[in-house]
Amino acid sequence: MRQTLLGSVVALALAAGVQAEPSSAPIDLRFALSVDGRLVGSPRLLVQPGTPSEIRVDADDGGGYRLEVRADPPARPTDPPSIVLKAALRTRVDGAWHTLGEPVLQIALDGRPASIEIGKAGGDAAHYRIEVTARPAETRSLAAPTARR
């Protein structure tokens, strides 16, 4: 009985290690940022879990948006695997960055889209929508690009 119980504990520990391993693999995040229903950018970001990252979307008028993200593993393993995405959306007005919102979203790592909305549609202030998909990054995606002349 003791060996069976010990074997079960070891098997569970190994299984937990296998479950936790993908959380350290790079993640491919694809975004669609809309303001008042108009798409303003579709950035892509490869992130390392637990490491803050950012991407900018510049506007023709000198303004723009900055999306700061951090992808963390969830507190408990999920099926399908997921991440907790902490984001901060900022806008540049007259050269200074202003925070629009700091939403948190748990998203499956299977490419299904999820969205975050900031502000009310039809309100006095702008309505922002961030659609995001997440997948484990493919090794080919992480290779350094080859310079061409």
- Cα separation, 10 vs 13, in Å, equals 5
CA distance 81 to 135: 10
- The residue-averaged pLDDT of 1-21 equals 37
Lowest mean pLDDT among 17-26, 27-36, 91-100: 17-26
pLDDT, position 135? 96
Cα 119 to Cα 72: distance, rounded to the nearest angstrom: 25
Residue 30 host element (H or E): strand 27-35
Better pLDDT: 43 or 120: 43
Confidence band for 107, pLDDT divided at 50, 70 and 90: very high
Per-residue pLDDT band at 61 (split at 50, 70, 90): low
Per-residue pLDDT band for 140 (boundaries 50, 70, 90) equals low
Query: For the residues 85-111, what does the mean pLDDT come to?
Result: 93
| Helical segments of the chain, H only | 2-20, 139-142
Break the chain into its structural domains and give their ranges.
24-137
pLDDT tops 80 at residue 122: no
Cis peptide, bond prior to residue 52, ω within 30 of zero: no
> Distance (Å, rounded) from C-alpha 6 to C-alpha 27?
35
Q: What is the pLDDT of residue 21?
A: 40
**In the predicted model, what is the mean pLDDT of the chain?**
79
Local confidence band at 139 (pLDDT 50, 70, 90 cut-offs):
low
Give the percent of the chain with pLDDT over 90. 60
Query: What's the pLDDT score for residue 132?
Result: 96
pTM for this structure?
Answer: 0.73
Which positions ≥6 away from 71 have C-beta within 8 Å?
27, 29, 47, 49, 50, 83, 84, 85, 86, 134
